[in-house]
Amino acid sequence: MDKIIVQGGRRLQGEVAVSGSKNAALPILISSLLTSETCVYQGIPHLVDINTTLKLLGGLGVEVDKESWAKDSGDLTLRADRVKNVEASYDLVKTMRASFLVTGPLLARFGRAHVSTPGGCAIGTRPVNLHLKGLAAMGASIDQVHGYMEVRAKKLRGAKIYLDLPSVGATENLMMAASLAEGTTVIENAAKEPEIEDLAAVLNKMGAQVQGAGSDIIRIEGVTSLRGVKHRVIPDRIEAASFVIAGVLTGGNVLVTGARPAHLDAFSIKLKEAGVDLVGGENSFGVKGNGKIKSVDVTTLPYPGFPTDLQAQMMVLMSVADGVSVITETIFENRFMHAQELDRMGADIRLEGNRAVVRGVKELSGAPVMATDLRASVSLILAGLVANGTTEVSRVYHLDRGYERIEQKLSKLGAAIERIRG
Ligand code: EPZ
């Protein structure tokens, strides 16, 4: 297994280009199942989770032309005109929960889906009950057999659906299913993330009738079929914010080009409260290092609240801030695993249920640490950038799921970082 070695103490300087959003790309690639016409996607990042999704779609019979994408980040072309099976296997779904998003499109287009339930993951139980409740409301029959969901429907009917939680995945699954249903579907308490808006934009380009994406009520008028599409995914707001934190931590001047600060209001407000000088325009987001980091309290919430996917990165910042910060995780039940690794680097973090009390320390010290999940792994890299000495992060396969060439990007900013192939 690969390791990443970081020498702390370098001030990061310069510009880095953000990649396309993983969490927009995954549902958008899966939405190609909704049409037999050619779908062309641009700005798709080179990530393990993207390759897993392409393998999953290929296994269903979707034609995948990834040559120009793989060679030089060109277009990725998919065509689902010869889908031969509607089964998403346990091996794939267990490695990537987002695979469950094939359920809605397969059901809507082919009347059937046989998809493994995702099971738990490191950060929480992550059930799919809201996905299934919505599909049932649209007339699907659902049987759980041997760890698989057998979902059938001659023709989905529009329905009024209330989500008990503004689930991103459930909103995406149901939006895709409803786009080919008979009649009108209303999703209340829908998730409002920018990735939901990007998926809705793709569906509408395909001929769907989706209104209200980005608000908590989404209305979808079903249509009989959908066309092919060409679409460039939005930039990855979580990657962008992770690089901004790297700049703040090292007291450097870092500008993330291609990023959209408008997708990161809660994060920006928190950084300003912490005394950080932010820079940038509509399509760039950065920091002018002033060495100041004041402790601030953070509570993760559904969008537009502070993103849970930035909680671990913010914890690193607060671990070397001036004061005491209380970080409350309200989305997932087990998303503090990075805390004990940061403690090994000299952080002072006390966990109390879903709250972490972070007392800022003068300095972190480099140490061998272990990544446990995607965002925890990037937080350990960030800690290594500012720690005194050498940090060795193992199990970086977690990192490769969501960050494209992170060591090259950080090296370009002046970090002393290298990957040891294992
Ligand atoms: C998406 O996961 C993201 N993944 C996650 O990013 C992100 O952390 C999460 O949204 C929250 O913003 C992708 O977009 C691929 P949810 P998702 O359904 O859709 C509960 C990353 O690091 N819930 O909004 O799985 C669930 O247990 C990943 O890039 C139910 O109870 O998140 C969780 O506590 C990690 N029943 C909460 O809702 C359901 O049917 C939010 O989950 C569905 C969800």
pLDDT digits (tens, 9 = 90+) for 296-324: 999 999 999 999 999 999 999 999 999 99
Q: Which amino acid does the sequence have at 311?
A: Q
pLDDT digits (tens, 9 = 90+) for 360-407: 999 999 999 999 999 999 999 999 999 999 999 999 999 999 999 999
DSSP labels, 118-130: ---BTTB----HH
Closest ligand 1 atom to Cα of 195: 14
Q: How far is the CA of 167 from the centre of ligand 1 (A)?
A: 6
Q: How far is the CA of 300 from the centre of ligand 1 (A)?
A: 13
List the Cα angle 338/400/255 in 5-degree steps: 80
Predicted model pTM: 0.97
* Protein residue with its CA nearest to atom 4 in ligand 1: 23
Reduce the secondary structure of 357-403 to three states and give it as a string: EEECCCCCECCEEECCCHHHHHHHHHHHHHCECEEEEECCHHHHCCC
- State which of 165, 299, 377 you would mutate to test the pocket of ligand 1, scoring each by most atoms of that ligand within 8 A of its C-beta: 165
Cβ contact 153:139 at 8 Å: yes
Per-residue burial over 385-400, b if 16 or more Cβ lie within 10 Å, else e, is bbbeeebbbbbbebbb
pLDDT digits (tens, 9 = 90+) for 181-223: 999 999 999 999 999 999 999 999 999 999 999 999 999 999 9
How many percent of the chain have pLDDT more than 70?
Answer: 100
Query: Which structure tokens are listed for 333?
Result: 């039940």
Confidence at 28, pLDDT banded by 50, 70, 90: very high
Reduce the secondary structure of 63-120 to three states and give it as a string: EEECHHHHHHCCCEEEECCCCCCCEECHHHHHHCHHHHHHHHHHHHHHCEEEEECCCC
Closest ligand 1 atom to Cα of 166: 24
Residue-level pLDDT at 90: 86
Confidence at 229, pLDDT banded by 50, 70, 90: very high
233 in helix, strand or coil? coil
Around ligand 1, the residues with Cβ closer than 6 Å are 23, 26, 97-98, 124, 126-131, 165, 167-170, 191, 308-309, 331-332, 374-375, 402
CA–CA separation, 227 and 40 (whole Å): 12
- State which of 52, 331, 372 you would mutate to test the pocket of ligand 1, scoring each by most atoms of that ligand within 8 A of its C-beta: 331
Q: Is residue 122 predicted with pLDDT exceeding 70?
A: yes
Closest ligand 1 atom to Cα of 333: 34
Q: Is residue 121 predicted with pLDDT exceeding 80?
A: no
Cβ contact 378:406 at 8 Å: yes
For the chain, the distance separating the N- and C-terminal CA atoms, rounded to the nearest angstrom, is 4
Residue-level pLDDT at 124: 84
- State which of 29, 93, 126, 335 you would mutate to test the pocket of ligand 1, scoring each by most atoms of that ligand within 8 A of its C-beta: 126
Q: How far is the CA of 282 from the centre of ligand 1 (A)?
A: 28
Closest ligand 1 atom to Cα of 332: 34
pLDDT digits (tens, 9 = 90+) for 61-84: 999 999 999 998 899 999 999 998
Instruction: Tell whether the torsion through CA atoms of 270, 375, 70 and 103 is positive or negative.
Output: negative
* Protein residue with its CA nearest to atom 43 in ligand 1: 128
Active-site annotation holds for 39: no
- Of 232, 252, 298, the C-alpha closest to 19 is 232
Q: How far is the CA of 164 from the centre of ligand 1 (A)?
A: 13
- Residue 145, CA atoms < 13 Å, CB-side half-sphere: 8
Closest ligand 1 atom to Cα of 123: 35
Query: Which structure tokens are listed for 215?
Result: 């608000």
Q: Which of 17, 121, 266, 351 is catalytic?
A: 121
Question: H or E element: which one contains 269?
Answer: helix 265-273
Q: Is residue 119 predicted with pLDDT exceeding 90?
A: no
CA distances from 16 to 25, 180, 205, 316, 411 (A): 20, 40, 30, 21, 10
Using CB atoms within 10 Å of the CB of residue 212, give its burial: 0 to 12 exposed, 13 to 18 middle, 19+ buried.
Answer: middle
- Cβ within 8 Å of residue 157, ≥6 positions away: 138, 139, 181, 182, 183
CA 278 to chain centre: 23
DSSP labels, 281-349: -TTEEEEE--S--B---EEB-STTSB-GGGHHHHHHHHHTSBSEEEEE--S-TT--HHHHHHHHTT-EE
Query: Which structure tokens are listed for 182?
Result: 């008979």
